[in-house]
A and B are shown apart, each in its own frame.
Chain A
Amino acid sequence: MRRATLLVLVTLLVMTAFGGAVAQEERVLVVGLSEDFHRLDPQRAYEPGGSLIHKAVYDTLVTFPSDSASEILPNLAASWTISDDGLIYTFILRDDVVFSNGDPLTAEDVVFSFNRMKNLKDNPSFLADTIASVEAADEHTVVLTLTQPDSAILAKLIFDAFSVVNAEQVRAVGGTDAADASTTDTAELWFNDNSAGTGPYVVESYEPTVRTILVRNPNYWGDAPYFDRIIVQNMPESATQKLALEAGDIAISMDVAPDQVSAFEANPNITVFSSRSDTLIFLLMNQDPEIGGPLSNPRVQEAVRYALDYEGLRLLSGTGTETPAAMVPIGFIGAIDPAEALTRDLDRARELLAEAGYPDGFTTDLRYPDFNYIGTEFGLVAQKVQADLAEVGITVNLVPEEFQTSLDAYRAGQQGFSQWLWNPDYHDALDYVEFLPAGVVGNRANWTDENADPEILALRDAVRVESNLDVRNELFRQIQLYEQESGPFAPLFQPGVHFAFDSALQGFNYNSQWRVNLALLSY
């Protein structure tokens, strides 16, 4: 028995040595990720985890810097022009780009990709709502015509769903960009084992819930990446990722829990990277008096915003957590300086409550999905809100709910007072117009064109079509100042996100859309 164990161990040691030798000849990067994607068809992409893979395999017309969403950079498009009315975008493609199978990139591929995405009518298709048509003017010129000016269109084009695929290759496996693509396209499963992109890597294999293996694209048009092979290993539990990183089996842990950060920091071989996320956690107060009760009163809504202890709330989510000034998160062009955020003022809150006719406060329920989101315990945050509001006389009963059940009620606009989160659909401040009257989230608070101030309606309509950046920023500024005073939402914070990696690894950067650009990593 003992001899048998020894035999296994010796074999193992030999194999580990052998594995190490292979790893040196071929540069291999192993990434530990709690896999949160289920499919790899880029035109159906809408899962946060998938971006990590799509970024390495596909290219988009334009892109962001590797560490922020602060500007729009050329990518497949070398340059572009915008017509004066903001309706026609003309992109000139690079002429040196080839797909991983060697086919040259043409404007037709872009047309096919965009139309396929729109016509699949899948999760991301709404991103193409403002696109009237996309046409190839010549081999390297793409003309995008919009239905209305959309200053967020370039940011939208950076999202995975606008990845450019090889039209010929995808058509050959059942892909189509026809109007009836939602019922006739059969290429989805093919994308799980293959890829058709221009990015630095190609998908070698994808074993769902086990690992995704990327190998270097031999025909890549840009600078060759350092690693020959990238193995994204699924490790659903962050405690397991921590052990595997410490043991040296993975080079990056993508899902570090806030309470693990200090343990990692004590280890010189491991570097921790923390940043604020784009996730906005907020309170919703229903505008409909039948549903919201006292919370539908604008004075009460303002009182709640003054009663919250933002500094204390941030502590619940660890390093990297920040509170935006209003409902546009920090990091988006147009967001006002977080230094302008409201600070706690209990006297002002009590005054406002008295003005609203509730000098002794009132009792209300706070509904929230009872779950943990990237290390932030929703129940804990709700308890803090409860304690904060108690100080101004508002008695809050906590009503934790199962996630999907709560989501249904929230989407139906049936929650009077609730705690939720919003992740950006695309990286542009226009996505936060959804928090205004008749927007997706505005509707959930029953904030409509009928019951809203004309002032905010005018701002909303103006910002949607404004393409001059300075004017747009000023409009966003006024919107956020308005949100601080009035309206059915209170921002709580943007939780931190944390990564840990082998300190020898170079080139680690965080971008909130694709998280880490794997092609830029090296030793």
Chain B
Amino acid sequence: MSLSMYLLRRLILAVPLVIGISLVAFLIANLVPTDPMAANLGERAAADPQIVAAFRARWGLDEPLYAQYFTYLRNLLQGDMGTSIRTRRPVLDELLRYMPATIELATAGILVALIIGIPMGVASAVWRNRPIDFVSRILSLIGVSAPVFWLALVALLVFYLRLRILPGPGRLDAVLAAPPNVTGLYTIDSLLARRWDLFSNAVSHLILPAIVLGAFSAGLITRITRSSMLDVLSMEYMTTARAKGLSERTVIIGHGLRNALLPVVTVIGLSYSNLLTGAVLTETIFAWGGIGRFAYDSARSLDFPAIMGVSMLIALVFVITNLIVDMLYYILDPRIHA
């Protein structure tokens, strides 16, 4: 099977998946035993039948549930995700506003995790039970178990307040204006606008939250890489590779790591999806206006259109990252071609 056929099949499978997710999200959002009216109208407005009626009519809450769902699907197909009850802005605009910030942070986070996790995992496996292994195991344990909240505040306290070598919360210094919006990623947009000052500012603002966000994934990737490498290192083809007279470097990286990567790729894919959708604490502490915080605030005020929009987006993120992971499998493991 060719790569394009393989991709096409995965894409077609994704369609019922996305529709299913929309249905489940819609039902769960509506099964909550509370009324969005209570969450979005003030005490006095909620006691005024006229205002309540105007509110229900404006947000379509006076229609039966199935009608609301079909209206939603129909609008969705036309690219209309509705209007947020809480912010009164189109949900699509909101997602486009907040998602780039999260993509930028999550990508930086997963890069941190990869740069730390894979070499540490490999080194840990190769020098098993040696000091480097102990250090890496302790670090990965800390990464996996340290609460994000604590880690973020300690990181800010040390590097921002005490040492003053990294900037504080936010995506840019408060006095700087964002670069012209092209992708929404400040690092890329500032490069496109040739604003080197903004670029370095944006990068420096990314460092701390990326490390904090990536810490858990780094720990996880270190552990998986280590155990997967240990399995591979005991394989007979490793002995064969050495017997052929290949350099130790080629043996470890070319024959060892490449074969050990399959489970690691799965974990990276999952971690990246999680970072893209579950960064609410990091976003809160670093005042990073991203999708995690938007999802949290929308859920708290029972903002159905926004909750639906975020659910669809999360579904899409998982579908896409899974697709990429599958593609990597296809490339890394020739057996899938069959």
Contact = CB atoms under 8 A, between A and B. Distances in A.
Interface of A: 8-9, 11-12, 15-16, 18-19, 22-23, 28, 30, 38-39, 46, 121-126, 182-183, 188-189, 192, 207-211, 231, 233-237, 239-240, 243-244, 246-247, 249-250, 402-405, 407-408, 411, 422, 425, 440, 443
A23 B173 CA distance: 12
B175 A425 contact: no
B175 A123 contact: no
A235 B156 CA distance: 14
Contacts of B287: 210, 233-237, 240
B137 interface: no
A319 to B, nearest CB: 23
25 contacts: A8-B200, A9-B165, A12-B204, A15-B200, A23-B175, A39-B87, A121-B50, A121-B51, A122-B45, A122-B51, A123-B41, A124-B42, A124-B45, A125-B48, A182-B58, A208-B87, A231-B174, A233-B170, A235-B169, A237-B284, A247-B168, A404-B38, A405-B33, A407-B34, A440-B44
B289 A210 contact: yes
A38 B44 CA distance: 19
A46 B45 contact: yes
A107 to B, nearest CB: 27
A12 B200 contact: yes
Instruction: In the A-B complex, list the 4 residue pairs whose CB atoms are closest, starting with the nearest.
Output: A209-B289, A404-B34, A11-B200, A121-B54
A506 B88 CA distance: 37
Contact of A408 (B38, B47, B54, B88): B38
B174 A209 contact: no
Contacts of A249: 168, 173-174
A302 to B, nearest CB: 26
B67 interface: no
Given A208-B289, A239-B285, A8 B204 contact: yes
A121 B284 CA distance: 33
Nearest to A41: B88
B114 to A, nearest CB: 15
A202 to B, nearest CB: 16
B329 interface: no
A64 B45 CA distance: 24
A101 B38 CA distance: 38
Give the one of B46, B97, B170, B176 with max A CB within 10 A: B170
Nearest to A431: B44
B168 to A, nearest CB: 5
A425 B43 contact: yes
Interface of B: 32-35, 38-39, 41-48, 50-51, 54, 58, 86-89, 97-98, 153, 156-157, 160-161, 164-165, 167-171, 173-176, 178, 196-197, 200-201, 203-204, 284-287, 289, 293-294, 300, 302
Nearest to A182: B54
A239 B285 CA distance: 8
A240 B156 contact: yes
A202 B204 CA distance: 31
B200 A19 contact: no
A489 to B, nearest CB: 15
A56 to B, nearest CB: 17
B165 A19 contact: no
Contacts of B32: 404
Contacts of B35: 404, 408
Given A38-B86, A209-B294, A405-B34, 20 more contacts: A15-B201, A19-B176, A38-B88, A123-B41, A123-B45, A125-B45, A126-B45, A211-B170, A231-B174, A231-B175, A233-B170, A235-B169, A235-B287, A237-B284, A243-B160, A250-B174, A404-B35, A404-B302, A407-B34, A440-B44
A308 to B, nearest CB: 24
Contacts of B47: 126, 411, 440, 443
Contact of A243 (B50, B157, B300): B157
A247 B166 CA distance: 11
Contacts of A408: 33-35, 38
A101 to B, nearest CB: 23
Nearest to B293: A209
Contacts of B201: 12, 15
Contacts of A9: 165
Contacts of A124: 42, 45
Contacts of B178: 207
A408 B156 CA distance: 40
A15 B197 contact: yes
Contacts of B97: 208
B44 A126 contact: yes
A123 B50 CA distance: 11
A189 B167 contact: no
Contacts of B289: 207-210, 234
A111 B255 CA distance: 80
A188 B168 contact: no
A211 B34 contact: no
Nearest to A121: B54
Contacts of B43: 422, 425, 440
Given A38-B88, A404-B39, A243 B45 contact: no
